[in-house]
Amino acid sequence: MTKIAVISDAHANLPALEAVIEDILNEDCVRIYHLGDAIAIGAYSVEVLEMLMQYNVLMLMGNHEAYFLSQPEEKQGNMTDGEFKHQKWVAGTLKDWHRRVIKKFGFRHDETINGYILAFMHYALNPDSTAKKKFKGFLKDINTDNVDEVFEEAEADIIFFGHLHKVMDIIGKTGKRYINPGSLGCQKDEFADYCIVSIRNGAYKVEHKKVRYDKKAALDEMDNRDMPEREFIKRAFYGEGK
């Protein structure tokens, strides 16, 4: 049997990542996969990125990493002034060597484990590989009726994705299984989400896990570092100060 851990959307939340890594170390996993958006929203982009590297996590490109690499001088699309200030602040905390590391992140990783084909990505990818926007337009309501179409490019038995910040486990009409482990770093309670997958020839088991962490420490550090847009972020992503 082979056991793996899948995490996503750590979003610079170091206390949550530390709690989850500690839990994973008790699971005898051969590998950890992070489905993108390690940076931004939280206060600890540098520390989270470096901790993921320390544990040899296979890291994928999220929309926040892609935005960091583009580093536009002016805000884009519907981005607010506050969001733009936050993104510029995040970019200012990261060094050139972090950029070189992030540039190596793939948008998708496929792997066969004990006879099962697995696909890992932050979200569904544009089928036109030459398109400037690598991700498809984000759809919040993914369900049994549309999930196969959303991820039509993924030829795999199990497709892991993130971005939506909620736990999802859907069987499509094609029989493919689509799993979102939930956001490790952005939840409105005091628990970080991730999943463990145990795979053997002819069978596999998925266990969705919630690990308690020090949410107050994560929020306090936003104040300590004078992080831009922190009050909005606390409300929108952590359910604080409604």
Q: What is the CATH number of the domain that holds 92?
A: 3.60.21.10
Q: What is the pLDDT of residue 54?
A: 98
Cα distance between residue 131 and residue 127, in whole Å: 8
Q: Looking at the domain assignment, is residue 228 inside a domain?
A: yes
User: For residue 144, is it within any domain?
Assistant: no
Residue 114 inside a domain? The answer is no
How many structural domains comprise the chain? Answer: 1
Given this model, what pLDDT does residue 242 score? 60
Q: pLDDT tens, 130-158?
A: 667 889 988 889 999 999 999 998 999 99
In a domain, 90, yes or no: yes
Pairwise CA distance, residues 71 & 59, whole Å: 20
Residue 131 lies in a domain: no
- Residue in 119, 97, 96 with CA at minimum distance from that of residue 108: 119
Q: How many CA atoms lie within 13 A of 95 on its CB side?
A: 5
pLDDT of residue 73: 67
What pLDDT does residue 75 have? 67
Query: Could you list the residue range(s) of the whole structural domain that residue 218 is in?
Result: 2-108+180-238
In a domain, 27, yes or no: yes
According to DSSP, the residues that pair with 32 across neighbouring strands are: 5
Residue 163 lies in a domain: no
Please tell me the pTM assigned to this model.
0.96
Q: Is residue 171 part of a domain?
A: no
* Residue 97 C-beta-side C-alpha neighbours within 13 Å: 4
Closest CA to 68 of 47, 41, 50: 41
- Whether residue 23 has pLDDT greater than 90: yes
